[in-house]
Amino acid sequence: MSKKRVVIAGMGFGGLRASKVLAEKDIELIMIDRNNYHLFQPLLYQVATAGLEQEAIAYPLRGLTRRWQGDSFLLAEISGIDLNDKCVLTDSGKVPYDYLIVAAGSRTNFFGMESVATYAFDLKRLDQAEDLRNHILLMYEKASRETDPQKKAALLTFVIVGGGPTGVEFSGALRELIVYVLSLDHPAISATETRIVLVEAAESLLTAMPDELRRYAHDKLRSMGVEVMLETRVVGATAESVELYGGAMIASHTLFWSAGVAAAELAGNLSGVERGAAGRIVVQPDLSLSNHPEVFVVGDMACCVNNGVPLPMMAPVASQQGQYAARMVLARERGKTLPPFHYFDKGSMATIGKSSAVATTAGFNFRGYIAWLAWLLLHLYYLIGFRNRLVVMMNWTYAYWFQERQVRLITAKKRRAVPV
Amino acid sequence: MSKKRVVIAGMGFGGLRASKVLAEKDIELIMIDRNNYHLFQPLLYQVATAGLEQEAIAYPLRGLTRRWQGDSFLLAEISGIDLNDKCVLTDSGKVPYDYLIVAAGSRTNFFGMESVATYAFDLKRLDQAEDLRNHILLMYEKASRETDPQKKAALLTFVIVGGGPTGVEFSGALRELIVYVLSLDHPAISATETRIVLVEAAESLLTAMPDELRRYAHDKLRSMGVEVMLETRVVGATAESVELYGGAMIASHTLFWSAGVAAAELAGNLSGVERGAAGRIVVQPDLSLSNHPEVFVVGDMACCVNNGVPLPMMAPVASQQGQYAARMVLARERGKTLPPFHYFDKGSMATIGKSSAVATTAGFNFRGYIAWLAWLLLHLYYLIGFRNRLVVMMNWTYAYWFQERQVRLITAKKRRAVPV
């Protein structure tokens, strides 16, 4: 009897963890991704704010898979899955499977607002982070030769939508880039001429955090010079303005959107599956599809209800689900099963600025320097690859001591293509 | 009396050195470049062969100029120079000058072969190095799933034109990438299936080097597995083939061109100047234009005859000329002059592979490990910025010990735009 074939579709946090469980087992493992690297998405915002080079947060997948005898990696775009025929459809042909772990992640959710989708920047891919960095630096270059005060103010106004960890971390990092670096680079522009506006629809930032930490983050951002607008919604945009609910306009050339995520397009291409909020695929307690026990969906794509609410779209959930699905495959092959998936919540954290972060774990809340240090160490730990850790640590140390960010390069002057 | 204004057009090696002489002197200095960074072009080939991240060889110009009180940097594309009206024409308006140092460098010379210009890769800009790296890695990905042996062979054939230092260094680095890294990444492809063909029109490689070193480089490349074709010319190309003079075709998806350079387009936009070979502008012994003593041309753009032949288009020439022109401006302002420009030739070198290089200086020839070590140290020394030196040194050390190159990322799958 030939070996059973397990296909992993997508090598983000969920797929990566699943692959480590399944590698060199008595199955044939095929890993598919559209990129030849695993991307450490939580640090994309640091690439966008000139703190890290893009290569430091990407790890070449073949550097991992080449050690695994008999397993293989396929660089391909997945267009769909034929659940009845048991094969994955890609731009390199059909890939049949016996078991499938779908881990294609998420995309930004603009909630159908076309103008926002057209003009906003978001951070899901490496090239988007580079584009946003180029754009921010270019706004400063343009402002430094702009003589009309109104136009100059619009170039120097940055609107960030979404008060979750990404919006908070990006706001703080952008403010530090401006105060410590760009203000010195451009003597003609004072840091006080620059506005960073953080817009959140709810009544507080970091709604998943305890009240004490929310207030700390809010106060800290305001003391750094970030304007926080709560209970405010962005409803439209042009290249030079952002429209708020109620009709108010903010003159700004930069809109960063981190106010929503939805399951990757692939979720919409599957027929006969039940979908929950944000297009996520509803899974059984063992993460499989109800009619297809050989197919597991993990991570951002999966709508896995825990204590009555779907689990959040976060890296730790994806990792734990990837590991579970892989173990479940191995258990089934041995004629066994596992207890239902249970998410172990280790807590959450967000960094705000130098020596300042918030973290909550096991009922304990941390803030300030100790939370910041924990944030640094955990992110280094979860980053893949010795060399990447070294490069990131070097950048952080350098930034800490010299208040300098040397990756402030405008590597392309073209505006990114309008997203589909 | 207001200060005289000195404009530097182009911040490559020539412009950078000139700016360091003129900074914070009793003049107004304006530095113009189309990029916001100085690019260390001699290491572009290492970015293209996945040895270095692109950010490591670029230094943000404002990181330099911000220290200089009263001087300024302008990010702008220069379209022409009005020599009579004394102003530089840019996409950000006219910039008048009292003195001008033109240092806009060079572009690749395809000698009018349109098919080669369309399909060949060349290395002048940072994005070209990234594009070439993406392309090389993608050829391996495509080859790994190609079943037709002929098509597979074409995907794995890399043709490099030009046996000067760039062609030699690129060939060696590509061969090492293939043998030490890609062959392990792709178990389905043996290193012996891959061809690297180095094509040179002259009768030897490294024609500027002593005979002993030419032969060493040739033998070393061949022992590494690079095919060297001397007295051979490439006359055409398609996306999948390279045509040689005489009609022979090599089936190959990758053509790298390092067989010629010409003065930057800007040289062609100047009226009333004398041009030498490769469109370079003929300069007086003090590097100024004959009718415009207030305009100096330095580096690759300048045709400066020394001992009867024009000086080569190399970084050391550009640096020395930039320094001379800047000193000449200061001397003139003091009512003085300087003796004619004299190029001090410190020698030349090229690295071939790990522990292997050739170097010649002051009549002494070096090869092997000692030349390689000297090459490493000199390139680190000339690289701008402490952080960049650190990152490059780390990458080199890592590559040396682990035979590994982690920057093997395909960051975009689009083929680069066809060059204009």
Give tens-digit pLDDT for B246-286: 999 999 999 999 999 999 999 999 989 999 999 999 999 99
Task: Note whether A268 contacts B: Cβ–Cβ < 8 A.
Answer: no
Strands A87-90 and A78-82: antiparallel
Asked if the Cβ–Cβ distance from A408 to B92 is below 8 Å, we say no
Give CA–CA dist B111/B237, Å, rounded.
Answer: 14
pLDDT band for position B412 (cuts 50, 70, 90): confident
- For residue range A158-210, what is the model confidence (pLDDT) as tens digits? 999 999 999 999 999 999 999 999 999 999 899 889 999 999 999 999 999 99
Q: Name the residue facing B409 among A58, A185, A390 (closest C-beta).
A: A58
Counts for chain B of helices (H) and strands (E), in that order? 13, 26
Asked if the Cβ–Cβ distance from B53 to A58 is below 8 Å, we say no
pTM over 0.90: yes
Task: Note whether A406 contacts B: Cβ–Cβ < 8 A.
Answer: yes
Task: Note whether B185 contacts A: Cβ–Cβ < 8 A.
Answer: yes
B393 against B198, higher pLDDT: B198
pLDDT band for position B419 (cuts 50, 70, 90): very low
Closest chain B residue to A137 measured between Cα atoms? B36
Nearest to A277 by CA among A258, A300, A238, A303: A303
Asked if the Cβ–Cβ distance from A409 to B36 is below 8 Å, we say yes
- For residue range A20-74, what is the model confidence (pLDDT) as tens digits? 999 999 999 999 999 999 999 999 999 999 999 999 999 999 999 998 998 999 9
- For residue range B339-388, what is the model confidence (pLDDT) as tens digits? 999 999 999 999 999 999 999 998 899 999 999 999 999 999 998 888 88
DSSP-assigned letters across all residues of A112-178: T-HHHHHH-B--SSHHHHHHHHHHHHHHHHHHHT---HHHHHHHTEEEEE--SHHHHHHHHHHHHII
Provide the annotated active-site residues of A: 169
pLDDT at A414 over 70: no
pLDDT at A418 over 60: no
pLDDT at B150 over 90: yes
Task: Note whether A145 contacts B: Cβ–Cβ < 8 A.
Answer: yes
What type of residue is A180? Y
Give CA–CA dist B243/B237, Å, rounded.
Answer: 6
* Residue A400 confidence (pLDDT): 85
Asked if the Cβ–Cβ distance from B141 to A75 is below 8 Å, we say yes
Provide the annotated active-site residues of B: 169
Average pLDDT of every residue of chain B? 94
- Two tokens, residue B184: 């392990």
- For residue range B79-92, what is the model confidence (pLDDT) as tens digits? 999 999 999 999 99
Contact criterion met (CB below 8 Å) for B34 and B76:
yes
User: What letter would DSSP give residue A189?
Assistant: S
Asked if the Cβ–Cβ distance from B126 to A411 is below 8 Å, we say yes
Contact criterion met (CB below 8 Å) for A14 and A41:
no
Asked if the Cβ–Cβ distance from B410 to A37 is below 8 Å, we say yes
pLDDT at B417 over 50: no
Distance (Å) from the alpha carbon of B126 to chain A's nearest alpha carbon: 7
Domains of chain B, earliest start first? 5-34+76-108+261-333 (3.50.50.60), 114-259 (3.50.50.100)
What residues contact B351, with CB distance under 8 A and at least 6 apart?
A: B169, B172, B357, B371, B372, B375, B376
Distance (Å) from the alpha carbon of A98 to chain B's nearest alpha carbon: 21
* Predicted-complex ipTM score: 0.92
Count of A–B CB contacts within 8 Å?
Answer: 107
pLDDT band for position A230 (cuts 50, 70, 90): very high
* Residue A1 confidence (pLDDT): 59
Task: Note whether B403 contacts A: Cβ–Cβ < 8 A.
Answer: no
For residue B114, the number of C-alpha atoms closer than 13 Å in the C-beta half-sphere is 1
Q: Name the residue facing A412 among B56, B127, B404 (closest C-beta).
A: B127
Average pLDDT over residues A286-310: 95
Asked if the Cβ–Cβ distance from B126 to A186 is below 8 Å, we say no
What residues contact A419, with CB distance under 8 A and at least 6 apart?
A: A117, A118, A122
pLDDT at A420 over 60: no
pLDDT at B139 over 50: yes
What residues contact A168, with CB distance under 8 A and at least 6 apart?
A: A198, A205, A206, A217, A221, A350, A352
Which residues, in sequence order, are bridge partners of residue A361? A364
* Residue A308 confidence (pLDDT): 87
pLDDT band for position B405 (cuts 50, 70, 90): confident
Distance set, CA A129 to CA A39, A41, A53, A200 (Å): 12, 10, 10, 22
Q: Name the residue facing A92 among B36, B145, B390 (closest C-beta).
A: B145
Task: Note whether B259 contacts A: Cβ–Cβ < 8 A.
Answer: no
Nearest to B170 by CA among B156, B157, B158, B152: B158
What residues contact B247, with CB distance under 8 A and at least 6 apart?
A: none
Contact criterion met (CB below 8 Å) for A225 and A180:
no
Name the 3-class secondary structure at A396. Answer: helix
Percentage of residues in chain B with pLDDT exceeding 70? 98
Distance (Å) from the alpha carbon of A179 to chain B's nearest alpha carbon: 14
Q: Name the residue facing A408 among B60, B92, B404 (closest C-beta).
A: B60
A286-290, A388-392, B133-137: segment of lowest average pLDDT: A388-392
* Residue A419 confidence (pLDDT): 33
Asked if the Cβ–Cβ distance from B412 to A127 is below 8 Å, we say yes
Task: Note whether B279 contacts A: Cβ–Cβ < 8 A.
Answer: no
Task: Note whether A416 contacts B: Cβ–Cβ < 8 A.
Answer: no
Asked if the Cβ–Cβ distance from A63 to B388 is below 8 Å, we say no
Contact criterion met (CB below 8 Å) for A272 and A15:
no
Task: Note whether B397 contacts A: Cβ–Cβ < 8 A.
Answer: no
